[in-house]
Amino acid sequence: MTEFIRLAFCEIKTQIKRYIILVFEMMAAFLVIGFLCSMLSGINMTNQTVNGAGIPADYYRAKSTAVYTDGGRAINGDERQALLIEFIADNFHTEGVTGYTTPLDHPILMATDGYFDIYGLRLEKGRAFNKDEYDSDNADMPIIMGYGFINDYDIGDTYMDKFTIVGFLSDEQYIPELSGRISKGFSVNYNIYTPIKSREWLKENGVSYPTDLIYSENKSELDAINQKAEELGLYAYNFLSADEAEQILINTTSTLNIPLVLITLLITAMSLLCLVQSMLEFVRKNIVELLIHMICGAKLSNIILRVGAGTVLTAFISAAAASLAFRSASTAAVLFITAAAVTVIAVLPIAISLKLKPPIVAVKEEK
Amino acid sequence: MLKVNNLVKIYPSGEGKLHALDGVSFEITDGELVAVTGRSGSGKSTLLNIMGLLDKPTEGEYYINDKKASGLPSWEQAKVRNAEIGFVVQDFALVEKYTVKQNVNIPLIYSKKQLDKEKAIREVLRRVGLSDKINTPVYKLSGGQKQRTAIARAVVNDPSVILADEPTGALDSVNANGIMTLFESLSRAGKTVVIVTHDMNIAARCSRRIELSDGKII
Ligand SMILES: Nc1ncnc2c1ncn2[C@@H]1O[C@H](COP(=O)(O)OP(=O)(O)OP(=O)(O)O)[C@@H](O)[C@H]1O
Ligand SMILES: [Mg+2]
């Protein structure tokens, strides 16, 4: 083992320039591969979200007939939208979140009573909100944080002088969002939730009521909303059931991404080829000079070790660097597996062919 | 002591076979300075490569210091090559972009001998007259300087056997003389030295001559 480290170090020291260039070449290829991975995992994530969203059948999402809006929530500053939201909140049962952003640098989402159940959000630790914490107007505000905060805060901590942390959500949970062409699942890892306040409190503080999901036993009851919209001079809305919303999610993600995925696949294949190519060239160049070492008594295993150790190190350093850019364990795993595969492809055939020849033949042939 | 017994090396050539070595046997005792001579293509390099454990004979045995070296696994042959043999290849086989010092250092990377490596390199370069080129990359050297670098590399790890394929081929007579003086002093110090050469003056300075013709000793 010490021999291995000594030789690897010796190898890299004498070839530092070549190694640095190779690291950059490999990083470029790994970035492309990583991009493909994150794209594929994006689709996968959406599918998971769609499958796992579990939105009850008798909830509807509002969708503008003209353009997608933000799920039917108020568009900032539009007085008429605010009135329509009032109307919906007065006449229907709704679920969802609304952003409470005013004095804070990180927005806090006010969630309705049924929100966590509807989207099936699980807690990693701590407690869920109590019934009596919803729709209150008292001053204390409990919060549940996304998994992304779990290392920085603890239960019982005070956040922004005002909020008390009571729980943390588990990792890898997503909320489906309908935002036109970029409809997909959004991670809740960096969300912070607090129970929705009373209507009066919201009005006083200028926070609109959440209307992401509108409950109705009979879709025709929702026509009242469109009548109101028409009175106010707003666009008419479509109301999508959970099924229809899922369909939109599936359609938008799949139709949008397939050509892109294909192109990326192609580029990935090409950069993989380049990667293998430059690895092979690199190994061959080094082998030629290391074969001369064999004349002076280096064992074949010394040489394979030297080249192998250098190559493995380069591959793994570049895979690690590229992984940092993606911050995803599965992408990192793919990159490291690729790195290992490329190294084996580059080193193994040469090692075997050298094993079969007497040194002088190898030296003469490679020269 | 070196001993080869009935060495045969056959290369496939077109339809038939080429007997590059055809039953070569001889013994060389420690401290001998031997010249191997013969026409071009007579099998001199083939013989030396086998004696340097860089190639395998088709048939026959080879002993170094009474130990059978042919037929050893390749990693053991590498050990013997490093510790016992200094080899000067006909076309030098230097790493062009390395400096003289880096080239001469190669055997020492793999050596298990307790040597003062720095000192060994400086001493051997002094003896071949390359002290002033120690940090020059090899591609900047003349043919003769390259040859002397190759010789320095062959002797730096203090091997008991020195095998040199045309070590003076690229040298003028002054430098060739100097190298021969080095080989003579190594042989006086008990090393076995085998030189392949075309140069009759060089051959005349050796204690013995082995002449090859068509793979046979004549
Ligand atoms: N790898 C090989 N494959 C086939 N034939 C070979 C190979 N190496 C050498 N030979 C043949 O073996 C014979 C002996 O070659 P060798 O190199 O030993 O000659 P040599 O005496 O060293 O000649 P020179 O003085 O020109 O260096 C030659 O006919 C050569 O063509
Ligand atoms: Mg020859």
Identify all chain B residues contacting A10, using CB atoms and an 8 Å cutoff: 109
Q: How confident is the model at residue A184 (pLDDT cuts 50, 70, 90)?
A: low
Return the C-alpha torsion angle A293, A296, A301, A303, nearest 10.
Answer: -10
Is the pTM value of this prediction over 0.80?
A: no
Across the interface, whether the CB atoms of A10 and B153 are under 8 A apart is answered no
A233 at interface of B, judged by CB pairs closer than 8 A: no
Q: How confident is the model at residue A178 (pLDDT cuts 50, 70, 90)?
A: low
Task: Say yes or no: CB of residue B42 within 6 Å of ligand 1.
Answer: yes
d(CA B129, CA A126): 80
> Pick from B78, B93, B153: which is nearest to A363 by CB?
B93
Identify all chain B residues contacting A299, using CB atoms and an 8 Å cutoff: 74-75, 78-79, 110
- Give the ligand 1 atom nearest the CA of A364: 1
Tally the C-alpha atoms within 13 A of residue A70's C-alpha that lie toward its C-beta.
13
CATH code 3.40.50.300 for B2-217: yes
Q: How confident is the model at residue A54 (pLDDT cuts 50, 70, 90)?
A: low
Sequence-distant (≥ 6) Cβ neighbours of residue B67 within 8 angstroms: none
Query: Tens digits of per-residue pLDDT, B159-192?
Result: 999 999 998 887 888 888 888 988 998 999 899 9
Q: What is residue A257's predicted lDDT score, i.e. its pLDDT?
A: 61
Chain B CA closest to residue A289: B95
Task: Say yes or no: CB of residue B11 within 6 Å of ligand 1.
Answer: yes
Question: How far from the centroid of its chain's Cα atoms is residue A150's Cα?
Answer: 17
- B108 versus A366: the higher-pLDDT residue is B108
- A6 versus A256: the higher-pLDDT residue is A6
Interface list for A 318-357 with B (CB within 8 A): 355
Element (H, E) at A84: helix A79-91
Q: Is the model's pLDDT at A318 over the cut of 70?
A: yes
Q: How many CB atoms lie within 10 A of CB A174?
A: 20
Average pLDDT estimate for A144-163: 91
Q: How confident is the model at residue A34 (pLDDT cuts 50, 70, 90)?
A: confident
Tally the C-alpha atoms within 13 A of residue A276's C-alpha that lie toward its C-beta.
13
Residue pointed to by tokens 């942390």: A165
Q: What is residue A276's predicted lDDT score, i.e. its pLDDT?
A: 85
Q: What is residue A41's predicted lDDT score, i.e. its pLDDT?
A: 66
| Ligand number with the minimum distance to the CA of B216 | 1
Average pLDDT estimate for A239-248: 70
ipTM of the complex: 0.87
3-state secondary structure of B26: strand
Across the interface, whether the CB atoms of B56 and A293 are under 8 A apart is answered no
Residue pointed to by tokens 């000594």: A6
**Residues that place a CB less than 5 A from ion ligand 2:** B 45, 90
Across the interface, whether the CB atoms of A360 and B75 are under 8 A apart is answered no
Q: What is the mean pLDDT of each run of 10 residues along chain B (218 residues)?
A: 94 87 94 94 94 93 91 90 91 87 92 90 93 93 89 94 90 85 90 93 92 92
- A200 versus A260: the higher-pLDDT residue is A200
Across the interface, whether the CB atoms of B82 and A296 are under 8 A apart is answered yes
> Pick from A296, A299, A360: which is nearest to B75 by CB?
A299
Q: Where are the domains of chain B?
A: 2-217
Q: Where are the domains of chain A?
A: 2-48+253-366, 56-95+211-240, 97-208
Q: Is the model's pLDDT at A72 over the cut of 50?
A: no
Q: Is the model's pLDDT at A38 over the cut of 80?
A: no
Q: How many CB atoms lie within 10 A of CB B112?
A: 10
Mean pLDDT lowest for which of A45-54, A217-226, A256-265, A284-293? A45-54
Chain A CA closest to residue B150: A296
Task: Say yes or no: CB of residue B19 within 6 Å of ligand 1.
Answer: no
> Pick from B55, B75, B110: which is nearest to A296 by CB?
B110
A363 at interface of B, judged by CB pairs closer than 8 A: yes
d(CA B146, CA B140): 9
- SS3 of A28-73: the string is HHHHHHHHHHHHHHHHHHHHHHHHHCCCCCCEEEEEECCCCCCCCC
Chain B CA closest to residue A358: B55
Nearest CA owner, ligand 1 atom 1: A361
Average pLDDT estimate for A148-153: 92
